[in-house]
Amino acid sequence: MQKKLFLFVGLPGSGKTTICRTIAHKYPMVVHQSMGDLLRLEAQQDTPQGKLVHELVTNGKLVTPDITLSILEQFLVHNQQPIILLDGYQGNSDYFEPFQQLLERHAITLVRVISVDVSPDIACMRAGWRKRIDDAPEAFKQRLQNRLKNREAVAHYYGHKGLFTAIDGEQPLANVIAATEYVLELATATAQEHATQPVI
């Protein structure tokens, strides 16, 4: 069975990880992985790459596509679930094609890119509740600026491919999750018109 991936994007603090975790807990065939969590784990490693990632992450800077994708590939190789919810893989146009090539190498179909939209003020308020190495004030400010700068590029690139959907992330969490599940089900049905049963 060819695996399917849904990519969740949005500002830090938009709720991407919470949404994905909730849905993954609900459906046994779905796995969730946060790109941010993978990078923070790598940043703890006492290796040249780990030290470089730690420096970039703690300063709110983008980790280069080659390192990001090599870390992500380790997860994809070991994952056995047919549906993947990946949150936090974002960047500028340099990141898009290598990401697609990685998925193709592992026979994974990118079904939909879901943007969880919140205002910068809401993102800052929510991130203030967390205690992570990349949520220190200056690092978070840099991350927020990066995401704002690249948000339009992400929407344009995947929108042109007919894969982009935006969800209002400022609704109550239950509403956001319900809206997300609807998008997942609709996208899956569109991608598998002849399937005998829905994936979720």
pLDDT digit string, tens, across residues 67-102: 999 999 999 999 999 999 999 887 778 889 999 999
Listed by start position, the domains of the chain span 3-191
Nearest to 39 by CA among 136, 114, 125, 132: 132
Q: Are 58 and 133 in contact (CB under 8 A)?
A: yes
Share of the chain above pLDDT 90, in %: 64
CATH code for residues 3-191 = 3.40.50.300
Provide the pLDDT confidence category of residue 137 given band limits of 50, 70 and 90. confident
List pLDDT tens digits, range 111-131.
999 999 999 888 888 776 666
Q: How do beta strands 108-117 and 164-168 pair?
A: parallel
Q: What is the DSSP letter of 81?
A: -
